[in-house]
Structure 1
Amino acid sequence: MKYISLLIIVAALSVSCSGKKKNSVEYVIENGSLETIRTKRVELVADQQDINDKIKRLDEKIKTLDTTQNVPLITTFKAEPKVFVHVLELQGNVTTKNLLTITPEYNGILTNVYVTEGQKVTKGQTLAKIDDGGLSQQLAQLKIQAELAKTTYERQQRLWEQNIGSEIQFLQSKSTYQSQQEAVNQLNQQIAKTTVRAPFSGTIDDIITEQGSVVAAGQSPLMRIVNLENMYIETEVPERYVSEVTKGKSVSVNIPVLGKTIDTKIRQAGDFINPANRTFKIEVEIPNKDKAIKPNLSARLKINDYTSENALLIPQSVVSENSEGEQYVYVVTNKNAKGVGTANRVIIETGKTQEDIIEVLKGLESGAEIIQEGARSVRDGQSVEVINYETKK
Structure 2
Amino acid sequence: MRTRYIIYIALALLIGFLIYNKFFSTKGKEAMAQNASKSTKRQNGPVAVNVMIVKDTAVDNTIDVTGTIDANEKVNLISETAGNITGIFFNEGSYVKKGQLLVKVYNQDIVASLKQNDYQVALAKQNEYRNGILLQKEAISQQEYDTSLTSLNTLKAQSDVLKAQIAKTEIRAPFSGTIGLRNISPGGYLSPSTSIATLVNIDPAKVTFSVPERYQQLIKPGTKVNFTIESARNKFSAEVYAIEPAIDLSSRTITVRARSANPGNLLKAGAFAKINLTLDQIPKTIMVPTQCVIPDLKDSKVFVYHNGTALSKTVKTDLRTDTKIEIISGLKAGDSLIVSGLIQIRNKVPLKILKVIK
User: Which category of TM-score, normalised to the shorter sequence, fits these structures?
Assistant: 0.7 to 0.9
CA distances 1:302-330 after superposition (whole Å, capped 9, x unpaired): 0101311212101111111222x211111
- What residue is the counterpart of 2:263 in the other structure? 289
Q: What residue in structure 2 maps to residue 333 of structure 1?
A: 306
Q: CA deviation at 1:48?
A: 6.1
**Offset at residue 353 of structure 1 (A):** 0.7
1:274 aligns with 2:248: yes
| Structure-to-structure mapping, 1:121-160, within 5 angstroms | 121-132=96-107, 134-160=109-135
Q: Where do 1:233-248 residues align within 5 Å?
A: 233-248=207-222
More displaced 10-residue stretch of structure 1: 174-183 or 133-142: 133-142
- 8 Å contact from structure 1 (residues 87, 302) kept in 2: yes
Matches within 5 A, 1:36-75: 45=24, 47=26, 51=30, 69-75=44-50
Question: CA separation in 2, counterparts of 1:56 and 1:129?
Answer: 100
| Higher RCO (CA < 8 A, seq sep 6+) | 2
Q: CA deviation at 1:247?
A: 1.8
Percent of aligned pairs sharing the same letter:
21
Distance across 2 between alignment mates of 1:312 and 1:58:
43
More strand by share: 2
Match among 331, 337, 343 for residue 376 of structure 1 = 343
Displacement of 1:112 in angstroms is 0.8
> How far apart, in 1, do the equivalents of 2:28 and 2:176 lie?
99
TM-score, structure 2 length as denominator?
0.85
Q: Which residue of 1 aligns with 2:296?
A: 322
- TM-score where L is the length of structure 1: 0.78
- Corresponding residue SS for 2:217: coil
CA distance in 2, matches of 1:111, 1:139: 19
* Selected match of 1:78 from 43, 53, 62: 53
Correspondence for 1:197: 172
Deviation at residue 69 of structure 1 after TM alignment: 4.7
What CA distance in whole angstroms lies between the structure 2 residues aligned with 1:280 and 1:162?
A: 75
Q: CA RMSD in A?
A: 2.8
SS in 2 for 1:180: helix
The 1:361–1:160 alpha-carbon spacing in structure 2 relative to 1, beyond 3 Å, is same
Distance between the aligned counterparts of 2:127 and 2:101, measured in 1?
A: 38
CA-CA distance at 1:220 after TM superposition: 0.8
The alpha-carbon distance between structure 1 residues 205 and 50, as it changes in their structure 2 partners (threshold 3 A), is: closer
Q: What does residue 358 of structure 1 align with?
A: 325
For structure 2, list consecutive stretches of 5 or more residues without a partner in the other structure: 1-16
Report the AA paired with residue 302 of structure 2: V
Kept in 2, the 8 Å contact 1:108–1:133? The answer is: no
Instruction: Report if aligned partners of 1:353, 1:359 keep a CA contact under 8 Å in 2.
Output: yes
Q: Give, as a single letter, the amino acid of the residue that structure 1 aligns with 2:266.
A: A
| Residues 78-121 of structure 1, C-alpha deviations (whole Å, 9 max, x = no match) | 11112211321122222212332211111111111112223332
Maintained 8 Å contact 1:206/1:225: no
Q: Which protein has the larger Cα radius of gyration, Structure 1 or Structure 2?
A: 1
Secondary structure of 2:328's aligned partner: strand
The secondary structure found in structure 2 opposite 1:75 is strand
Flag the 1:346–1:146 CA change in 2: closer, same or farther, 3 A. same
Please give the alpha-carbon distance, in whole angstroms, between the structure 2 residues aligned to 1:390 and 1:150: 96
Match in the other structure for 2:355 = 388
Q: Does 1:264 align with 2:231?
A: no
**1:254 and 2:249 aligned:** no
CA shift for structure 1 position 372: 1.1
Name the SS of the counterpart of 1:242 in structure 2. Answer: helix
C-alpha distance in 1 between matches for 2:36 and 2:212: 65
1:179 alignment partner, SS class: helix
Distance 2:341 2:165 in 1: 83
Measure the CA separation in 2 of the matches of 1:281 and 1:270: 5
CA contact (8 A) 1:115 1:127 kept: yes
Q: Is the 8 A contact 1:245 1:303 kept in 2?
A: no
Contact 1:122 1:200 in 2 (8 A): yes
Structure 1 residue 50: Cα displacement: 7.7
